[in-house]
Structure 1
Amino acid sequence: MRALVIQHDHVTEPGLVGARLVERGYDLTAVTVVPEDRRHTPDVTFDFPEPAEWDLIVSLGAPWSVYDETAVGSWIGGELDLLRKAHDLGVPVLGVCFGAQALTTALGGSVERSPRPEIGWTSIDTHDPAVVGPGPWMQWHYDRCVPPPGAEETARNAVCVQAFRVGRSLGVQFHPEITLRMLRGWLRDGGEEQCIGQGVDPGELLARSRELEPTARANARHLVDGFLDRVVASEG
């Protein structure tokens, strides 16, 4: 089975989600939309592959907003088209943070500024714990999803919808893929200043993440299994 992983920047990787997909028999092919030398000018051009070539698509997070055309430029249109075609073909999509926002936008929902940012580990209220557990999950976002028509809200908290499913696809606002390597990259590339601006101690966040490594791995495995066994395996 072949899975396409869309990495929007050079730091965010499939991480724990990718590891579990490999364990479940998927061969991952990762493509990076914005190379490291264009991080501050991310309005690149990028040709996305056709969704029919894949058994599964994973769209990961990004440090930009789906609706910020000065940042994402023309490539966001190509990704939305890919996700829309995938949905129409019944190719499952797992959207993570920015990926979830792209998924909801592609299918007729929208993205709006969150009433407050979320940075750090939080628990959520879940309507389907067999798919999306209560956490704790790593959060790092300033925007939130308005799910598309016909979507089923799967989890939320006081800030926003935290997970939704539509057809054979699932979008999650949090980061089940997080690893210490990834978090260090986020902190190094501007995240430390963001944390301080939101009253979050970067050192404490890193220490807490190290402490929660086993929990994060177990939660990611549960999410991927729930996605594959209950969402992907459904008739849509």
Structure 2
Amino acid sequence: MRIHVIADVVDSDGGYVVERLEQRGGEIVLLDRDALPAYARGADLILLLGSDRSAHEPKWVGVVEAESAFVRAALRDGTPVIGICYGAQLMARALGGTSWRADAAEVGWQRIDTTDPVLCPEGPWAQLHSDVFAPPPTARVLGTSWRGTQCFIDDSLGTRAIAWQFHPEVTPTTYERWVNEGYYGDGGVDEKDLIRQAYDNAARSRIAAHELTDAALTFLGVDA
């Protein structure tokens, strides 16, 4: 199974999700979203990782448009896509939704409301973002929080895609770095408590991420 992972080169750790994909026999190919090539066949799955940027910011419009076109081309060609956090927002915009700055950041390990405990278990899941999104009109929403959509699926271009706003992939060391670098974008949070939550939840989060990755591969029809 060949997997193209689209990420920022300075933050390309796919954590527990990529770990599980590799355990399932996946070959990971990293693609820099700032220098994304035109879509070409060759991947069995595309994974869109998170970013500290915002998909709605005008300064990133060229990068967002290029990645959006890549996602649409992949789905039309039969290659399924998974999006996480920024990747979920990007996928939403690519398929007709939108995203914007939230009133306040969503941080820490939070439970979510779900209609599908397999593709979108209630968690708790890691959150660390300052943006929210509206899913495309063709999507089916599987999970929400008080901030907004947490999971959706879509097959409007002929191939299945799934997106999670939360972070199933994140390891405690990566989460700690994100907190220290201010990824959530707001002040007034207890940074030491957020880091403590990351380490306290590490063992459970790894198991949950592996199970979620397995469920997504089954849903997407990817044989690994």
Q: Same fold (TM over 0.5)?
A: yes
> Which residue among 178, 181, 184 is the counterpart of 1:186?
178
Cα 1:100/1:28, change in 2 over 3 Å: same
Query: How much does 1:73 deviate?
Result: 4.6
Cα 1:99/1:191, change in 2 over 3 Å: closer
Contact 2:142 2:150 (8 Å CA) reproduced: yes
User: For structure 2, which runs of at least 5 residues remain unmatched after alignment?
Assistant: none
Structure 1 moving runs of 4+ over 2 Å: 31-34, 112-116, 187-192
Q: Are 1:140 and 2:128 an aligned pair?
A: yes
Contact 2:151 2:164 (8 Å CA) reproduced: yes
Q: Are 1:207 and 2:196 an aligned pair?
A: yes
Read off the aligned partner of 2:172 and give its amino acid letter: L
Partner of 1:50: 39
User: For structure 1, which runs of at least 5 residues remain unmatched after alignment?
Assistant: 35-45
Contact 1:12 1:60 (8 Å CA) reproduced: yes
Partner of 1:165: 153
Q: TM-score, normalised by structure 1?
A: 0.86
Query: How much does 1:86 deviate?
Result: 1.2
- Residue identity over aligned pairs, in percent, reads 33
CA RMSD of aligned residues (A): 1.8
Query: More deviation in 106-115 or 204-213?
Result: 106-115
Read off the aligned partner of 2:176 and give its amino acid letter: R
How far apart in 1 are the matches of 2:27 and 2:36?
A: 21
The CA deviation string for residues 146-191 of structure 1, in whole angstroms up to 9 with x for no partner, is 1112211011111101000012110111111101221232133234
Q: Are 1:18 and 2:18 an aligned pair?
A: yes
How far apart in 1 are the matches of 2:65 and 2:183?
A: 27
Contact 2:179 2:194 (8 Å CA) reproduced: no
2:181 alignment partner, SS class: helix
Q: TM-score, normalised by structure 2?
A: 0.90
Query: More deviation in 201-210 or 53-62?
Result: 201-210
> Which residue among 80, 96, 108 is the counterpart of 2:68?
80
